Amino acid sequence: MATLQNRPKVNEKVGVYSFGIVLLELTTGKVANDSCVDLCLAEWAWQRYQKGAPFNDIVDKAIRQPAYMQDILSVFTLGVICTGENPLTWPSMKEVLQQLIRCE
């Protein structure tokens, strides 16, 4: 049985990562830990992001609207930033909110 002392500490950085995963799930339509793929969603998104444009193939077909593609790709990119390998480079939740407001 785990004691309170053995549990990992929950902090803002954990929340940023988790929120980034939600953003990736929403924009791609993929599941975070799909047992059918070799990479987790964050790793897949990072690799796909590094390949560069065009990004149409990453967007969930259910939301793939030409008028909204720039906003969708901005949210996808934010998800990639929030789930990067180095937690020191992750934005704060305040910065995430500011980025999302810009997508309006």
Chain centroid to Cα 1, Å, comes to 32
Indicate the pTM of the whole model: 0.80
pLDDT reported for residue 1: 45
Extract the residue ranges of the chain whose pLDDT is less than 50: 1-4, 7
How many angstroms separate the CA atoms of 22 and 3, rounded?
Answer: 29
* Residue ranges of domains in the chain: 39-104
Q: Please tell me the predicted confidence (pLDDT) of residue 5.
A: 54
pLDDT at 32: 82
Residue 79's pLDDT is 95
pLDDT of residue 39: 66
Residue 45: per-residue pLDDT: 92
